[in-house]
Amino acid sequence: MNIDQYSHLRRLRLNETLRDMLNENRLSASEFIYPMFVVNGAGVRTPIEPMPGIDQISVDIAVEEAQRAMESGVKSVLLFGIPDKKDATGSAASSPDEAVQQAVSAIKIASPDTYVITDVCLCEYTDHGHCGIVRGNDVDNDGTLPLLADAAISHAKAGADMVAPSAMMDGQVAAIREGLNDAGYSNTPVMGYSAKYASAFYGPFRIAVDSAPQFGDRRTYQMAPTQAREAMREIEADLDEGADIIMVKPALAYLDVIKEASMRFDTPLAAYNVSGEYSMVAASGQAGWLDQDRAMMEVLTSIKRAGADLIITYSAITAANILAKG
């Protein structure tokens, strides 16, 4: 048999220009969302040890980072706040004087075209580290909802373009949607952390914001890694409650869930390339065990290929710069 008489798939791989022309999935910097950890004060840039290249930053530095992201083509940021003081109810989450609210306003003044999304949760603000208020040894789901709504409203008042509830409390999207509407922010979209798993890959994030639970864990409200059908029910619930964008978190270990969600729902779909996924690649790259940039782009491409429309990633600026170089 003369194999040259037949189809050769390699023919379409031999030329770089042709390979680029035939790309089935293309990453775009405009699809990236860059997470930032903001703290009170000024001139603060504190490295986060398990997340090489990522820092806790004060509001003034956050403004600079948002502008740097915009210059690279990354037009959206996601803000997480770290308060000076924590309490049992996470009261600082809705304070207009806290870092997130101050950063939202400052970024929108300095970089009006930056699309600012805020995480809405209590875990960074509670002294017990859970995502809601605690009654006995359990999180009070319904008692937490008004507090999440208050936090979301405070973000919208500060100028947030979108809010993103991540507490995994049943009914959180509906409570926030109703609260925003009543407060005059009916045009503020809600991105639900719809299918959020109880994942070991959150470890570096919890160090970054000092939010590890002081007792128990979050498996009573975050999803078990074994669940796929349940993820579709969670997404449907968020959509029924008015979510404008849905999310799967983490991304890399749940590509099958992203794929299923992308095929089942017409709503825009985000995926969160979480801290542990970032840290694995960054640490391995620093150790010389793999090509960090290539591995990073391969991970992001896999998330895009699975069906994500938006990718939340700590690698956003680096990836955008690589894409700009072609």
Cβ contact 166:231 at 8 Å: no
Beta bridge partners, 52, equal none
Q: Is 103 exposed, middle or buried (0-12, 13-18, 19+ CB in 10 A)?
A: buried
Which of 249, 259, 304, 325 is an active site residue? 249
The reply to whether 86 belongs to the active site is no
DSSP conformation class of 249: E
31 burial class (0-12, 13-18, 19+ CB within 10 angstroms)?
buried
Per DSSP, what are the bridge partners of residue 248? 195, 271
Pairwise CA distance, residues 238 & 248, whole Å: 12
Question: Could you give the 3-state DSSP secondary structure of residue 305?
Answer: helix
Q: Of the residues 75, 86, 108, 196, which is catalytic?
A: 196
* Alpha carbon distance 79, 60 (integer Å): 14
Tokens (6 digits) for 47: 């490295």
Instruction: Kindly write down the DSSP assignment for every residue of 130-153, as one continuous string.
Output: -SS-EETTEE-HHHHHHHHHHHHH
- Residue 56 contacts residue 44 (beta carbons within 8 Å): yes
Q: Tell me the H-state helices in 111-195.
A: 141-158, 172-182
Compute the CA torsion angle 163, 168, 169, 174 (nearest 10 deg): 40
Of the candidates 111, 101, 102, the one whose C-alpha atom is nearest the C-alpha of residue 152 is 101
Number of Cβ atoms within 10 Å of the Cβ of 35: 22
Close Cβ partners of 293 (under 8 Å, ≥ 6 residues apart):
285, 318, 322
Per the annotation, the verdict on 196 as an active-site residue is: yes
Which residues make Cβ contacts (< 8 Å) with residue 71, sequence separation at least 6?
none
Q: Which residues are catalytic?
A: 196, 249
